[in-house]
Structure 1
Amino acid sequence: MSSVKDVAHGSRRNAYTALILSTLAMIVCFMSWSNFAPLASQVAEMFHLDVSQRTLLLATPVLLGSIMRIPVGILSDRYGGKKVYLILMAFILIPLIMIPHVHSFGMLLFAALLVGMSGTSFAVGVSYASVWFPPEQQGLALGIVSMGNMGNAVAAMTLPYISKAAGFDSVYYFLILLTVIFGVLFAIFCKEMPVDKSKTISGALSVAKDSGTWYLSLFYFLTFGLFVAFTNLTPTFLTGMFHYTPVTAGLYSALFAFVCTLVRPVGGYMADKKRPMTLLQWVFIAIIIFAIWIMLSFHNQFMFIAGIVLVGLSAGIGNGVVFKMVPYVSKGNTGAVTGFVGAVGGLGGFFPPLIIGYIYQWTGSYELGIALLALTGIICWFALWKHYIHGDVHIVK
């Protein structure tokens, strides 16, 4: 970020404050969004859940957090990301207060659905942070703010320890405290982003007519969906197959999430320098190879964990590359495009745990579920190759 003149709106200080606090607030929101994954074994024991119920619980927050990214992203563009972020953090407190007091699986699922709203923080954060930086710096800037995904890893590392040391309810009191603290910090130190009051909802929804929105959504369905699904499923894999304790399995889940998240700005920076679509082609090839690797290594602990890390690296770079292109699809509608792309990407994290859970119930094996990941990678690669690599379509020239 080179000079004050390089910042799209306002001072460099406003830009960096927006970037830093958007990222930190997203980390806190993503901790709530993924709170059940590192506690899955404990929750399954408390509520007597089978594998399919357990995977349904893990997938439920992803559903609302994905679908609602579209309206939340549009509202951020229209009314300002700061206002929307503060309302969102206030809303998240409701399910966090509910969870320690529910006593049935049905009510737990309802609370899980509501806490899914925390996943919409991604659409708000990207919309809010992007306006402060010029196009040639947005790949890196959006890669940094998207590191808010690290909240999944932070949750995996901290929540099992808190639950073990202070009890299950303490996990949610901790999340409530963090949410309040960062809501206050955001309210005090962040400036509201410039907004175009003449924008209409129909104008924002017009991004759905652009094929670029849907191609990026497909690509993000694979890369971000892989991140969410494997962050949630890794503890289940490791406790079920290799008999890890929940705390140790949570640490490996955190490793996966950290790898995915830390390389995301690298992907954005690379896409600032090279043609993004060419980079994505290699990302998809890597995901296909490493998915097959994982599928063949379910009985080898070292190979399995290595495959998880390698597929995480590939997905993280892919996430950064995809979001380099988002602001170019429709000028002034970054929040709307982010909403669509983020929603489909989130659904990529919703379906795999359910499908893998049901396949495991039927077959007693996870391999077929991972084979479907490799197939999705092949579909994305073919769409990219036909439409962009050998086609005439360009998003970023």
Structure 2
Amino acid sequence: MTVRTAASPAVAAEVPLQGATTQVVLATLASTVGFWAWMSIAPLQKTYATSMGLDEGQISLILATPVLVGALGRIVVGAMTDRFGGRRMFATVLLVSVPAVLLVALAGSIRSFPLLLVAGFCLGVAGTIFAAGVPFSSAWFPPRQRGLANGIFGMGMIGTAVSAFFTPRLVAGIGYLPTHLLIAGLLAVAAILCWLLLRDSPRWKPNAESLLPKVRGALRLRVTWEMSFLYGIVFGGFVAFSTFLPKYLTTIYPDEVDVVGAGTRTALFAVAAVVARPIGGVLADRFGPKVIALISLGGIVALAYIVGQQPPEGILTGVTFILMASAMGLGMGAVFAWVGPSTPPDKVGSVTGVVAAAGGLGGYFPPLVMGATYHSDTHSYSLGLWLLVLVGAFALVVAGMLRDTGDRVGDVGGRG
């Protein structure tokens, strides 16, 4: 009889490391601050439009620019996280975002649209924080619990709700400039705390491969393209509605919804997605991510159709948007539960960066499309919403044809 004095590597790999939950929660809080900064322009879009005399196209552009930069920047940040670790990248992204927020403050104070556009471009850096958090969180948990880990970290999206709810209220209460100084200060404090308190998982091993080979390696994996498409729908839809919903509500329901009310409704939308995301991750761990993704996409298609009918503002509208956000949250949790077990461990950061970038890009185009397809005579965005229905229906078909995680073991050498 052999006495085992230590757990085997296989058994050890199935046990979360000590302090794992604490580290992921800290990363989630840091991500919350980053998302608040990233989405700080959207809640004030009507203020900018009034003070600078902006038209529909210009408003759509200032809303979409941070999203575009945040999306593309995730490819770089994801690959750099593979090399330098989550602790360094969290601190760096948060610190670099400070001057961007200050530039937004300056642009709004002097009422300069060109400077606000430049500031929005710089502010996109804050949105790249997500690409640092997924590989950081994944490394702390075994493969069978990575849906949960990434679901918890994904709750940092609540920074979107924080921005929608608090930014207009802070501006009304303490002023425009002090509000942005407060956001910049929170970014600096969060950066310092990340440097002092975060630590990379003992399971994490740096990948010294240069950026371009990493990205090429990620793009050679089939799972990268499949998950990028799905995430472009679920997260892209969330980002698009989070940035454009205040504009949508104040345009479609101008007599019922003011700037603060639109911010409150947008915050509820974001909270619903945030709550649903870890639920999607847990359900994906239990039932498989494919099933949850199909439920998510089916819900998005049905609810987008209802929104496209432009129902009267009230309970039906509110419930519809909350259910849509919940469907998107479930899908986000499912996609990253799909990514982890289907990706070689040394490429998780790179694949995450590409998939996260695709999600951001999915949120870049809808505000532009909504602005371009707005019918001023009927005050309707129905054409843009019909496009969402059609794209969602196509994604539902594609997801039904994909292989679940259990069928990919041979592709990546196991679920570890």
Classify the TM-score, shorter chain: over 0.9
User: Which one-letter code corresponds to 1:19 in the other structure?
Assistant: V
Moved more, 331-340 or 250-259: 331-340
What residue in structure 1 maps to residue 196 of structure 2?
A: 188
What residue in structure 2 maps to residue 294 of structure 1?
A: 307
Q: Please state whether the residue corresponding to 1:321 is helix, strand or coil.
A: helix
Match runs of 1:306-317 below 5 Å = 306-317=319-330
CA deviations on 1:300-343 (whole Å, 9 max, x unpaired) are 44322221111111100000000101122232211111101000
Residue 319 of structure 2 corresponds to residue 319 of structure 1:
no
Residue 288 of structure 2 corresponds to residue 250 of structure 1:
no
CA contact (8 A) 1:205 1:336 kept: no
Q: Please state whether the residue corresponding to 2:306 is helix, strand or coil.
A: helix
What residue in structure 1 maps to residue 4 of structure 2?
A: none
CA deviations on 1:255-281 (whole Å, 9 max, x unpaired) are 000000111000000011012112211
How has the CA–CA distance of structure 1 residues 9 and 174 changed in structure 2, closer, same or farther, with 3 Å as cutoff?
A: farther
Shift of 1:292: 0.5
Task: Note the residue ranges of structure 2 that are not aligned, 5 or more in a row.
Answer: 1-10
1:21 pairs, out of 3, 26, 38, with 26
What residue in structure 2 maps to residue 207 of structure 1?
A: 218
CA deviations on 1:284-306 (whole Å, 9 max, x unpaired) are 11111111011113444432222
CA contact (8 A) 2:14 2:144 kept: no
CA deviations on 1:30-50 (whole Å, 9 max, x unpaired) are 001100111111111121111
What residue in structure 2 maps to residue 352 of structure 1?
A: 366
CA contact (8 A) 2:147 2:285 kept: yes
Identity %, equivalent residues? 33
How has the CA–CA distance of structure 1 residues 295 and 74 changed in structure 2, closer, same or farther, with 3 Å as cutoff?
A: same
How has the CA–CA distance of structure 1 residues 375 and 167 changed in structure 2, closer, same or farther, with 3 Å as cutoff?
A: same
2:388 pairs, out of 373, 376, 395, with 373
1:69 pairs, out of 71, 74, 85, with 74
Q: Please state whether the residue corresponding to 2:200 is helix, strand or coil.
A: coil
Moved more, 294-303 or 94-103: 294-303
Q: Please state whether the residue corresponding to 1:68 is helix, strand or coil.
A: helix
Q: Distance in 2 between matches of 1:174 and 1:275?
A: 42
Aligned length: 390
What residue in structure 2 maps to residue 337 of structure 1?
A: 351
Shift of 1:200: 4.2
User: Which one-letter code corresponds to 1:189 in the other structure?
Assistant: L
Q: Distance in 1 between matches of 2:153 and 2:326?
A: 18
Q: Distance in 2 between matches of 1:356 and 1:121?
A: 27
Q: Distance in 1 between matches of 2:15 and 2:81?
A: 16
Residue 175 of structure 2 corresponds to residue 167 of structure 1:
yes
User: Which one-letter code corresponds to 1:375 in the other structure?
Assistant: L
How has the CA–CA distance of structure 1 residues 330 and 11 changed in structure 2, closer, same or farther, with 3 Å as cutoff?
A: closer
How has the CA–CA distance of structure 1 residues 251 and 380 changed in structure 2, closer, same or farther, with 3 Å as cutoff?
A: same
Q: Distance in 2 between matches of 1:215 and 1:135?
A: 19
How has the CA–CA distance of structure 1 residues 381 and 92 changed in structure 2, closer, same or farther, with 3 Å as cutoff?
A: same
How has the CA–CA distance of structure 1 residues 9 and 25 changed in structure 2, closer, same or farther, with 3 Å as cutoff?
A: farther
**TM-score between both structures, scaled by the size of structure 2:** 0.89
What residue in structure 1 maps to residue 250 of structure 2?
A: 239
Q: Distance in 2 between matches of 1:33 and 1:7?
A: 35
2:165 pairs, out of 153, 157, 164, with 157
Shift of 1:369: 0.6
What residue in structure 1 maps to residue 95 of structure 2?
A: 90
User: Which one-letter code corresponds to 1:380 in the other structure?
Assistant: A
User: Which one-letter code corresponds to 2:25 in the other structure?
Assistant: I
* Aligned residues: CA RMSD: 2.0
Shift of 1:73: 0.3
What residue in structure 1 maps to residue 18 of structure 2?
A: 12
Q: Distance in 2 between matches of 1:74 and 1:198?
A: 10
Q: Distance in 2 between matches of 1:53 and 1:280?
A: 34
What residue in structure 1 maps to residue 44 of structure 2?
A: 39
What residue in structure 1 maps to residue 402 of structure 2?
A: 387
1:136 pairs, out of 116, 135, 144, with 144
User: Which one-letter code corresponds to 2:63 in the other structure?
Assistant: L
CA contact (8 A) 1:29 1:151 kept: yes
User: Which one-letter code corresponds to 2:396 in the other structure?
Assistant: W
What residue in structure 1 maps to residue 297 of structure 2?
A: 284
What residue in structure 2 maps to residue 269 of structure 1?
A: 282
How has the CA–CA distance of structure 1 residues 60 and 361 changed in structure 2, closer, same or farther, with 3 Å as cutoff?
A: farther
How has the CA–CA distance of structure 1 residues 85 and 8 changed in structure 2, closer, same or farther, with 3 Å as cutoff?
A: farther
